[in-house]
Structures are given as C-alpha cells and as structure tokens.
Structure 1
Amino acid sequence: MAWTYNIRGKDVDYNPVAIGYGLVGLTENHFFVHPSKLSASVLSEFNKNGIKVHPYESIIPFLNNLKESTKILVDPSLCSQTIYESINGQIISGTSISKLLKSIKNDVEINHIRNVMKKDGAALAQTFYWMETKLTHGDEITEVEVAKKIAENRSLQEFYQGESFGAIIGYKDNGAVIHYHPEPETCKKIKPDGILLADSGGQYKDGTTDITRTFALSAPTNDQKKSYTLILKGMIALSRAKFPEGTTGAQLDTLARQFLWAEGLNYGHGTGHGVGFFLNVHEPPQGFAPVHSERGQTIQLPGMLTSNEPGYYKDGEYGMRIENLILTQKSKIDGFLEFETVTLYPFEHALIEKSRLTTEEIIWINDYHQKVYADISTFLNTEVNQWFKEKCKSL
C-alpha cells in the first residue's frame, strides 16, 4: 500500500512502510490505517484523489458488509486467514497487481538509483578506510563497531533515513553464518587476520541499497583465493548475461553458480532478490533462485532492480559473499535483455586469483573499478581518495 498510495512510514524497523490495509477499486479506494499516522497534507492529497481513510480496526466489519456480488482479487501470499475469511464477496485468488508494477522502476526512479549508489559507495569507502587504519595501528574494533560506523557514515549522506536491514558483519567463522547479526555482548573482536564479510544497506529518500563485500585482513590462503575468485566469476557471468525476453530467475540463477558447481561447491541461498525504491530491501516477486520459488518462476522485465550475490561458506572457518544490485534493461539485440550494474564499490584485490580469470573477466573488472573510482572519488577527502584509488587499481 505504501507504493500504491505513494506514502512512506516508520511502523516497521528498516522498512519505510505504514501498517494498514488497502482496498483498491474501479470507482473507490480505501485505506485502513491509524489516522494519527497521516499528516494533514497527506490527508488532503488522499481527499483530492478519492482515497477514503478508515480506522485500522474497521477493516473486518467493512469486509463483512461488502455485497455478495463484489469481486475481490486477493493475493494469498499477502493476506492473513482472518482477513480472508472476513470477505463477504466473490474471492479471486491471484498475484497482487501492485507487486509486479512496483518491481518495475520508472525512469525517474532509475536515475535516483544510479545517484544514490555514489553516495552509498562513498560512505563505505570512508568506513573501510577507517577500519583498515584502525587495524594497521593495532587498535581494537568489534563487529558491532564496524556496523555502527557504516550507519554513521551513511547518515552523513543527503536524504538518508536509516538502515535497510541490520548489518551482517561476520568475522572469520561468523561469516559462515549466512544471516548472522552481531550483538554487543557476543560479537567478535576483529584483528588483522583472516576474512571479514560485510553485508549492509541504507534507506534513502532517493533509493534503497544493499551491498556485500568480503575482505582479507591478512595474506589469504590459496583455498580462500580460489573460493573468492569462483564467486567473483559467477557474479560477473550473471552481470554480463544477455538473455531472451521471458527468461526466469531460475534460468539465470545457474549462471552465478556454475564455477562453484564445477568444483563441487555451492551455496545454500538464492543468488538474488528484488529491491524496492525507498521500500523493502527484499521486494518480491523477481529474483534469482531455484525454480520452486516465486523468485525462480518470475521472468525478468526491464526496470527491475535485483541483487546479484553468490557466496561460499566454509563452516567453522569463514564466509564469503559478493553482492551488487543490477538493473534489468533492454539489450541492443532485438528481443533480448541485459543488466546494468549500479552498485559502486571495488572488489578485494588480495583475494582475486588472476590466473583463474579470462581476458573478458579481467577487462570487466578493470572497467568496473574505473567507473567506481570516477563516480565516488569526488565525494572523498584527499586522504581517503588516495587510499581508494589504490583499491580501484586495475588487475
């Protein structure tokens, strides 16, 4: 309903939405929400556009009193059993119309998304410069402190509203826990040794971000470099893909896994999920996942924003994941689609085993790093900029 009625709220942590119900019709529209949550200007706009506001708790009696001839489209994946059983009318089960519509970003949103990635990347550069400097000087930092520093640097950016999810900062074996969340009482102290996984995102009025990078805090082992490079090759394969219209997420998911599979390796999560525009960081229906899921069955359409995040997790030792957001767009080849990578942050040079890369992959990485530096360097002070230039160097 936040997208349908073009509003945002603060009822749910990390997700800028209001708790409520909506009933959208051909001749009338209803919104069931606590009226105190709506400003006078929003109420005025609703009134101009024929949207009737009702108390949140009045949804059930309202549905009870519908005419039996009323036809109601209900998305079972979004509707509770209580609401479903309260409908006095002819129920048609199907996918929410707004679910698909909001997944396709318009030109204005796309331009904002490209711009928001620049300031988000700058915030990360400032954070990881701080982290590396601390570790070099022998200062003690924790997983929680890194998470807080990322949020702090994002908060300095224009239109920042908060995190898009609780940051996943996993040091060594904690990184192998896919949805690990550090807590002050139990988090690890980070030292200049081993592997660190950092997955975080921000909510801005001009877009939602989600990015993962993996860092080598000391000289990596051959096994670690192999794992990282196989993941990177998979990410590049998906990023560079050209595919016919009508291709599903399940078909594309395998592109990111192929190099791990060739070595008898895999990861136990989908390769990607849809991302909203100043909305939920996990937004259905599209994604890259096995065929039995909604994400796997949904076809990619121009304007969709989806994460590309293959990984590898060695229990008890380390976890690795690399994540960019990619935008689906029409290819120059008639009837085909391709992706534009919009996330901006360099990969970890120390973990890349160049001998495993093809010439085309090396060119792609170098071109990407060149763009990252060009787009972000102007946001950085001289000291951080010099450090960041080294991070964006060619292979």
Structure 2
Amino acid sequence: MNDECISGPAGPERLAALRAELRRRGLTGFVVPRSDEHQGEYVPTSAQRLAWLTGFTGSAGMAVVMLDRAVIFVDGRYTLQVRAEVDVERFHPLHLIDQPPPRWIGETLAEGDRLGFDPWLHTADQVKALRLACERRGAELVACPDNPLDVAWTDRPSPPKAPIGLHDESLTGRSSAAKRKEVAAALVAERIDAAVITSPESIAWLLNVRGGDVAYTPLPLSFAILHGDGTVDWFVDPAKVPPGVAEHLGSQIRLTVPDGFDAALGRLGRDAKRVRIDSSTAPAQVEDRLDSAGAKVERGVDPCQLPKACKNAVELDGSRAAHRRDGAAMARFLAWLDAHAPGGQVDELGAADALEGFRRRGANFRGLSFPTISGAGSNGAIVHYRSTAQTNRRLRPGELYLVDSGAQYLDGTTDITRTVAVGNPTARQRRHFTLVLKGHIALAMAVFPVGTTGSQLDVLARRPLWSDGLDYDHGTGHGVGSYLSVHEGPQRISKVGNSIALKPGMILSNEPGFYKVGAYGIRIENLICVVEAGTPRGAEWPLLRFDVLTLAPIDRRLVDVSVLSEEEVGWLDAYHARVRAEIAPLVEPEVAAWLTTATEPLRPPRSSRARGRNRP
C-alpha cells in the first residue's frame, strides 16, 4: 500500500508561492483541507496538500490562507502535535470544534473578499457552511476550476496506480452480484434510479476488490455509479486493473476511464434520473454537475455504508481468527517488552518496529492498519502521537508506555491499545489507569435494547473519570472494517450525537483514556462486535450486547483492585482466562509462561458469578 511521504520540509517559500498564485487569480484567500476527492482518512502522496503546505501530518485538519495571515484548524487529538510539526508563527493553530473554519471566516473576511476553494475536495455540506459564512460578511466563495496550490506545488507526485486484486468470496461471505442486487433493490424501493458512490471503501466492499493506492487501507481510489438493475459503471484507471480481475468482474461491471465520470453524471441528468448521493462525503463538484445537468438529486446516506458495517458470519469468523493471530503477536511483544524495557534498552521506534516484526510472522498479514502510536512518558499524552527520530525517547523505569497499533490481515482488521508500566507505577498512575479500566469494562458489559445508538452508551465509559473531574477529548469508539478501513462508519460511540442504531455484526472499538499532559497517557482499547443478547422473559425490547474480539493482557500491575467492584474484577479475571486459553497454545513455551503470569486472577474466583454477565 502507498506509504510515501512528500518531499522536503514545509518552508515559508511554499506559503509564499501559494499567495503569489492567489494574487494572480484575484483571490483574497484559499481553503486547504486535509481531504482528497474521496474524503478518506488516508490520502495518497499526490493529495497531501495540507502536509506539503504546513507540515501537519494528522488525519484531520484544515488551513485557511489569506494574503496577510494563515490559520490551521485541528481537533483535540492534535493540539500538541500541531505545535510540534507546524510553524505557528506562520499558521496560527485553532481548535476545529471550538472555533470551526466557518466561524473564523465569518469573523475575518471583509466585504468584497474572494475566498477560493477546490470543489473536488469539499462536500456539498461543507461548501454550504463556507458560503453562508462568506455571504454574511459580503464576501464571495469562489469555486476554482483547478487547485491553485497544485500550481505552486511544482514537484507534486503523480496519482497512485497500485494494482487491484479480487477479495475472495471465502473471505467476504457474499458475492459482488448478491451485494449489488441487495443494494440496488433498496434503491429501487425508494424509487431511486442510481447512486453515485464516491467512497473507495464502499466500492471495494461492493465489488469484492482491494487495492493499494493509500497507506494502511487496501483501497483502489475510484468512483462508481450503481444503477437500479444492479449494474455498475466503475471509473478507474485501466492500468490498475489486471486482465484476470476485469474478466472475473463480468459484464455487469463496466470499466470506464476516470475522465468519463463527468460525462456519465451529465447523462444521468439528461435522462432525468433520480440519483442518490451522500452529501456528507460526495465532492461538491459531483452534486453541482448533477444539478446543472438536470438530475433529480436525492441526498442521503451512501447505500453501501450500513450493509458493509454489519458483518456477516464469514467476516466475523475471519475477524476472530485475525484477532487470535494478532493476540499471539501482542503476547510475544509484551513479553519481549517486559524483558527489555526496564533496563533502558528500548525506545519508541524500536518498540514499534519489534511489534510490527511479531505481526509479520502471522498468516495473512498484509501490513499495518494505521501508523503505530508508540509513546513513552509524556509522549503518551499526545493522543495521536507519531514518534520520529527527533522525538524518539527511551522507555524509562517509573514511566508509562502507551502503544496503539493494528494490522491488516486478509480476513480481518485489528486495532488495540495497551498501556504498560515500566518498572513500578505510582499510586496516581494506578488510580488513573483503573478509572479508565472501569469505563472500559462498563462499556464492554453493557446490555442495551435494539435501537440504541453509540452516543447513548458513551457516558458509560466516561462516568468513572467524571467522578474524579477527569475526561478525554476524543471519541470512545469507532467502527472497524473487514480488511478495509480501521475507522469505519456509520456507527460510532461518542459524545457527538449519532442517529445510527447499533446492529448485530457491527465491529467497534472500546477505547476510553486519560492524558496527563507532560506526564503520561493512558488508553485501553479492545475491538468489540455487537451480538444479540436475547429477550428476557417479560421484556418489551430485544436486547443486544458486545462480544470482545481483542485478545491481549491488560497490565495488572496498573490495576488498583480497591477501586474495582467485585463484578469488575470478575470481568477482568474472566477476560484474562479467555486470553490465556486462546493465545497460550499459539505461542512459544517461554511466552506462554509469561502469559500465565500476566493473566493471573486478581482474586481467586469464588463462584461462577464472578465471571460477569457478558462473555469478555
């Protein structure tokens, strides 16, 4: 998968070159998002415009460049990282949520100003907010036919051309034809003729293909139009599609060069088709082209999102198998870490490399699912920290080490965070860790009625921290794909409102945390899947619960047992017993011996009641 970096540091000459191009076009400013045409988390090197201009490498952000000032917006995960990577004298950092770009634009622009944007890099919803902010100031929002930053970026790389491969039905559980028939039927039931699919994840799922155009996620960057008869027009570079793949796809999937996308949108308009687009993810240019061509645009959710999120039995079995292999790799890594870290022999980069090495030994491994977060001491308090040669530090006794990592396997995607004590932890570290653990357990043990959303459950993970006046500035859980994106919608667990009900087959993370800036970070993350819990006698609603997929020890040395209830102790002991039973047979005797010690019960179980309500 593509994992290149842009060349050279983001020096002042890049900002100067962009401003020169803005003056040439008569623009007062320009909006530079982190996104590409597909609004994906990871973008190819050729689309890393924000990183090229500012140096910021986080997964969410936006800059607004005026002729006399510039700002960069990031969310709470990146408030420390942005100051480490960006020259804040040139780009003043602002909080993406507390002071969103439209508000800043509405407070900054003057009457007659012309603010440019690239309509391929913003959704229609985003453009609407930007335009309203401009109009309130008497300014104009200008759609640029080509991106002025691309003119300034003279050595911009070419778009990726990674080969596309088939993802076998033995791994997907369903044929592409069956998926297309189901999704198309749902569209027809709503009297919709076609859907424009702009998400590469949805296209990969729908067609049972995978690619390598971006880092960490096996995606073929492309667009598609799904018609009501189940056929698909797929707009993809033919150089990326090997002959065998094209033949296997069959005649119902028509391969077309990307330049044909605009004409196809025009035909939908000329034929007066009712067309579904997801206005939260589709480029504004797509909606504008359909509108101008006369199509009847129906704004709604990407029709592939929900069926993709609800994994079938084959996908869930694959995920469990992938997590067993990943658990074996984690056991080997944690045993290695315990042996070497206390003596000061391990640094952040070395630990990340070692973990990747253990994973590479597992069957079906295809790469990491995101850049490993390997943070020692105060670096662990940076939520999305990425160690570099400049920031790399050794793991020192008395400190905490946080490692958030995951892998892509042919049969599943993993994501796990463990916080480890190096040497003897302090009482304060243990209390904070145990409060995070209490929230993690509360969510893992939740039983809830059908129709419940993730935002309704979020408080369970935060309540123990709130009792001490503490919190964390990120979501509690995100969806996870099946050998696809490690961050998948539409489901999530967050304080941010979400109307998507949790359904059986959805995989999510459970990752509360606490971050003591300048001292340490704590996060405990397992992946969980939604399963049916049955309907108790006399109940009015069928119930759901979570089944834990991740299999790795939670550091007992950091647990203050006096803070846990008997039920919570029972959950952790039962979870560790399961980890020991499933992982010990997969690892070497010396690792199995370490695992036995790492998963010893906190208290000897007194009855089966100590195992808790749910399968951990």
Residue 348 (structure 2) pairs with residue 143 (structure 1): yes
User: By how many angstroms is 1:124 displaced?
Assistant: 1.1
The structure 1 residue matched to 2:241, chosen from 18, 34, 38, is 38
Match of 2:499 in 1: 297
Return the alpha-carbon distance in structure 1 between the equivalents of residues 341 and 459 of structure 2: 38
Structure 2 contact 397–424 (Cα < 8 Å) conserved? no
Residue 272 (structure 2) pairs with residue 69 (structure 1): yes
> After superposition, where does 1:8-19 map in structure 2 within 5 Å?
8-19=210-221
User: By how many angstroms is 1:147 displaced?
Assistant: 1.0
Structure 1 contact 140–191 (Cα < 8 Å) conserved? no
Match of 2:73 in 1: none
Match of 2:382 in 1: 177
3-state DSSP class of the match of 1:4? Answer: helix
Q: Which moved more, 1:275-284 or 1:380-389?
A: 380-389
Residue 470 (structure 2) pairs with residue 265 (structure 1): yes
Return the alpha-carbon distance in structure 1 between the equivalents of residues 389 and 407 of structure 2: 21
Return the alpha-carbon distance in structure 2 between the equivalents of residues 100 and 367 of structure 1: 32
User: By how many angstroms is 1:65 displaced?
Assistant: 2.8
For residues 340-368 of structure 1, the C-alpha deviation after alignment (integer angstroms, 9 at most, x for no partner) is: 01100111111100011111111111110
User: By how many angstroms is 1:57 displaced?
Assistant: 2.4
3-state DSSP class of the match of 1:112? Answer: helix
The structure 1 residue matched to 2:412, chosen from 192, 195, 207, is 207
Q: Which moved more, 1:36-45 or 1:103-112?
A: 36-45
Structure 2 contact 344–395 (Cα < 8 Å) conserved? no
Structure 1 contact 68–90 (Cα < 8 Å) conserved? no
Return the alpha-carbon distance in structure 2 between the equivalents of residues 139 and 270 of structure 1: 33
User: By how many angstroms is 1:82 displaced?
Assistant: 1.7
Match of 1:363 in 2: 570
Residue 581 (structure 2) pairs with residue 394 (structure 1): no
The structure 2 residue matched to 1:328, chosen from 511, 523, 530, is 530
3-state DSSP class of the match of 1:141? Answer: coil
Match of 2:297 in 1: 91
Equivalences, count: 390
Match of 1:374 in 2: 581
Return the alpha-carbon distance in structure 1 between the equivalents of residues 569 and 591 of structure 2: 25
Match of 2:328 in 1: 122
Structure 1 contact 313–319 (Cα < 8 Å) conserved? yes
Give the aligned CA root-mean-square deviation in angstroms.
1.2
Match of 2:400 in 1: 195
Return the alpha-carbon distance in structure 2 between the equivalents of residues 86 and 247 of structure 1: 38
Letter in 1 for 2:554: F
Return the alpha-carbon distance in structure 2 between the equivalents of residues 229 and 351 of structure 1: 7
Q: Which residues of structure 1 form unaligned runs of 5+?
A: none
Match of 2:485 in 1: 280
Q: Which moved more, 1:80-89 or 1:372-381?
A: 80-89
Match of 1:308 in 2: 510
Match of 2:60 in 1: none
The higher relative CO (CA closer than 8 Å, separation ≥ 6) is in 1
Structure 2 contact 375–387 (Cα < 8 Å) conserved? yes
For residues 263-317 of structure 1, the C-alpha deviation after alignment (integer angstroms, 9 at most, x for no partner) is: 111111110000000000000110101243xxx3321001100000000001110
Give the share of equivalent positions with the same residue, in percent.
38
3-state DSSP class of the match of 1:115? Answer: helix
Higher radius of gyration, 1 or 2: 2
Q: Which moved more, 1:144-153 or 1:196-205?
A: 144-153
Residue 206 (structure 2) pairs with residue 4 (structure 1): yes
Structure 1 contact 196–216 (Cα < 8 Å) conserved? yes
Return the alpha-carbon distance in structure 1 between the equivalents of residues 578 and 242 of structure 2: 42
Letter in 1 for 2:515: Y
Q: Which moved more, 1:79-88 or 1:29-38?
A: 79-88
TM-score normalized by the length of structure 2: 0.62
Match of 1:133 in 2: 339
Return the alpha-carbon distance in structure 2 between the equivalents of residues 139 and 352 of structure 1: 23
User: By how many angstroms is 1:131 displaced?
Assistant: 2.0
Structure 1 contact 23–29 (Cα < 8 Å) conserved? yes
Residue 384 (structure 2) pairs with residue 167 (structure 1): no
Return the alpha-carbon distance in structure 1 between the equivalents of residues 367 and 258 of structure 2: 26
Structure 2 contact 323–549 (Cα < 8 Å) conserved? yes
Q: Which moved more, 1:162-171 or 1:187-196?
A: 187-196
Residue 250 (structure 2) pairs with residue 47 (structure 1): yes
User: By how many angstroms is 1:78 displaced?
Assistant: 1.8
Q: Which moved more, 1:139-148 or 1:265-274?
A: 139-148
Q: Which moved more, 1:233-242 or 1:122-131?
A: 122-131
